[in-house]
Structure formats: structure tokens, C-alpha cells
A and B are shown apart, each in its own frame.
Chain A
Amino acid sequence: MNLEAIVIGASAGGVHALLQVLPALPADFPVAILVVVHVPPRRDNALVALLAERCRLPVKEAEDKEPMVPATIYMGPPDYHLLVENDGTLALSSDETINHSRPAIDVLFESAADAFGARLAGIIMSGANHDGAIGLRAVYDAGGQAIVQAPATAEVACMPEAALAACPAARAINLEDMPSALKEMLDR
């Protein structure tokens, strides 16, 4: 079954990891990539500009009710949860924080698992809390591919470790191998 989307969650140390992975993807990478990074609830999302400058794929802040299209990187906006509807449109919510975070990784991963089932891959990167662990398990349980940044290669290992504990079947991939792993995933 073809991959429809990749969801990525990152927190402390995660921006560094994202900068190793996303700019390495080709401009014709045929899958939508949805990214939630724990950022402070300020309005200006500097991360979008930073990634847009370095990536070959277009990078944009996700908008409410926007149809998701392939070969695009969508970033969750500060102070809103990012979700995916079953019809593949994106949605935002200002529901309470989950794991002290808004946006929360679990919220994105669980809704994407619902929407895409086996046509989804989830990746948990460096971070200092447990957000994303339940979400990665949901991705796996729905038949999707579960991946974590190998804790030894994460600046802060807590989040990938928590994800591995919740989803022991997840593959741990070294940061430097992540871009090629993503490309290979397209053929699985």
C-alpha cells in the first residue's frame, strides 16, 4: 500500500535533527510530511522560514481546512493542535494542552493514524518529554510504520526512549541514516 503521509514529532534537540533530515529530501519526494515541534506559543513561527530556506520541498505552516497535498512539508502552528481529517484535509484546534504541549505530537499522530492507517509512517525525534509515545503506538496499531530516532543519536533521548517503550516494535534509526530510510520507505 502506498505511503500517503509521514508525521514527525520533535522537541528539545529536535530542530537540529529536522535540519539533518528534511533538507536531504528531494524536491519530488512524493509524500506529504506533517511536522509538530514543541514551540513556545508565540505567533511568529521562525522555524517555517528556517526550514523553507534549506529544504528543496516547499515548507508552510498548516492552515485549518487546507487539503493536504504530496511533496509538501506542513508545520503545526504555535499554540494550536494540528490534526488530519479522514478526507485528508488538515485541521487545527485550540483544545487544552496535551502533555503540557500545544501543538502536541500525540494529537497529530493519533488523528493521522485514524485517517491514513497503513499508508502512514510516524517518526519520533529528540525531545525531553513523553509526548508522541501514545501517538506512535497508534500509528503502529493502525498498520503504519513506526520509527524513532535512535536514542544514542538524539541530543535529548527521553522522547525517543519513551516512544520505544510504548511501541517496542518501532525501528530505531540513526540520525544520519534517516534520509535514506525515508526514501526507502516509499517502496515498502
Chain B
Amino acid sequence: MTESIEDIEIRLLLDAVYHHYHYDFRNYAQASIKRRLLQARAQCGFDSISELQSAVLHDDTMLPRLLNFLTVQVSEMFRDPAYFRALREKVVPHLRTYPSLKVWIAGCSHGEELYSLAILFEEEGLADRTIFYATDINPSALRSAQAGIFPLDRIQLFTENHRLSGGHSSLSKYYTADYDRAVFDTSLRDRAVFSDHSLVTDSAFGEMHLVSCRNVLIYFNRDLQDRAVGLFGESLVRGGFLGVGSKESLRFSSHADLFAEFVREERIYRRIAQ
């Protein structure tokens, strides 16, 4: 099939964003990015992707708006409780053997996963020896993760997820309700470093014991997935752990042999010696 005009426009826009702003979405999975760009076009009131492209190039205030369409997604605290239960029951016993720990949440978005892990590490008595690195390419998402504020109407779901994850304290211990917002305890992020980092263009992060990167790889094409998995391999200590989303796998990656399945059904892998 010949490439549609819209697909040509999308390709050109992603090229433009890369060349002018160095954000590289060119190897993202196409069907999803198309949906998001069409949404951006409609909600910003443009008639075509070309018009959106022109605005992005000539008006600096458009880039943050576009980034919010292209990157941010709403997640849940303790999304897939079984994943966090497996971390708690199967990974934490290994982590306990280290005197200090580094955990990387890659693609942290608004911070749901960061706060989930911070609470889990607190409950398991590991928080004092852990530094969390929360990274994302979207500055406004990082600011939001740093603030640690979530809509109060999400808390019921988060609480249920936390309970199913094997949480042995009450989630309400970790936040203060403020009108329609839940403000999470600043002590949870005392040992968190927030940083701008791209799995597409930046390099490895160094000496991690756990990397959690969930529902990020599905947005990448295979080449990009491969790069990211290689980056995780480089970033982890030998015997370190990698957790990905429940529909993601390392199967197609040329770096798959850096990892062994650790908890297969929860997509938790372990870095092995090569």
C-alpha cells in the first residue's frame, strides 16, 4: 500500500521534532503514536498534522504540550499487584543481602511506580539503604512525579492494589488527603533522584540492583526495544533484576541472553554473567 498523506506528515513531524528538539520518537511503534498525534492535532485545534508540525517548530510553548500527548500515560499505584507481590516475596530476599541498593524506575511518568516501590521498600525495611532513580523524557511528568500528588478518587483503586500486592501496612499511612488530592509523604522521595533520561538516545545508568520499566517497551519498535534492553543489561549489576510490563518480553531482543527468567509469569528477569 502507498503511504498515506497523513503517514507522510507524521514521519515529517517526528523528523522535525528530532532535528529541532532532539526528542527521538522516530522508532516508536507507529499505530500508537499515530493515535496520539491525531489526538494532539484535534485537541490543539489544527486541521492537519502539517499545521501541528509548523506550530511545534515555530512556537516553543507547543513542544511541552506535544510531549504530554506523546509520552505521558496514566498508570496506577501497584498496577498488576501480582508483579509487586513477586518483587516482595521473591526479589526482596535477594536485595536484602546488599548493604546498599540502587533502583531505577525507567519511564516513571507521574511516579505511580516510584511511590509503589518506595512504599514496598519501606514496608520491607530496605528504604534506608536504597536510592531510587526515577527517569523520564518529559520534564512536566518528572515535576509531577516529584510532587507526588494523585487524585483522591484514584486512592480506592491504589489501596486495593496495595493490599493485593501483599502490603502489610495501610496505604493511608503514606498520604494526606487534601480536598480532592492525595499528597504523598515527602519522606518517600527523600532518597529519590529525578532525572531526565531517554532510553532512545542516552546511555547506561550504572550499577543498578533493580530496574523496573513497565509498559514502556510496548511503545517502541523492535530496534528500539533492543537498544533499551541492552541498556538495562549494561546498567544492572550481575545478579540484578529487571521487571517489565505483563505483556512485554525480552524474547525478541538480541540481548536476551544477558538475562534469565526469574519470575516468568510476572516478567521479572535476572542479569546473568555472560
Taking beta carbons and an 8 Å cutoff, which residues of A are in contact with B?
A: 43, 63-65, 77, 80, 83-86, 91-96, 107, 110-111, 114-115, 117
Contact = CB atoms under 8 A, between A and B. Distances in A.
B3 to A, nearest CB: 9
Interface residues of B, number: 25
A107 B34 CA distance: 11
Of B7, B30, B219, most buried by chain A (CB within 10 Å of CB) is B30
A18 to B, nearest CB: 22
B273 interface: no
Given A86-B1, A94-B73, A114-B34, A77 B29 contact: no
B248 interface: yes
Contacts of A86: 1, 7, 30-31
Interface in B1-39: 1, 4, 7, 29-32, 34-36
Interface of B: 1, 4, 7, 29-32, 34-36, 73-75, 80, 82, 215, 218-219, 222, 225, 245-248, 252
A86 B35 CA distance: 13
B43 to A, nearest CB: 13
Given A93-B29, A107-B35, A111-B31, 14 more contacts: A43-B80, A83-B31, A83-B35, A84-B31, A85-B30, A85-B31, A86-B1, A91-B29, A91-B31, A91-B32, A92-B247, A94-B75, A96-B74, A114-B34
Nearest to B36: A95
A75 to B, nearest CB: 13
A64 B218 contact: yes
B102 to A, nearest CB: 26
B215 to A, nearest CB: 4
A94 B218 contact: yes
A96 B246 CA distance: 17
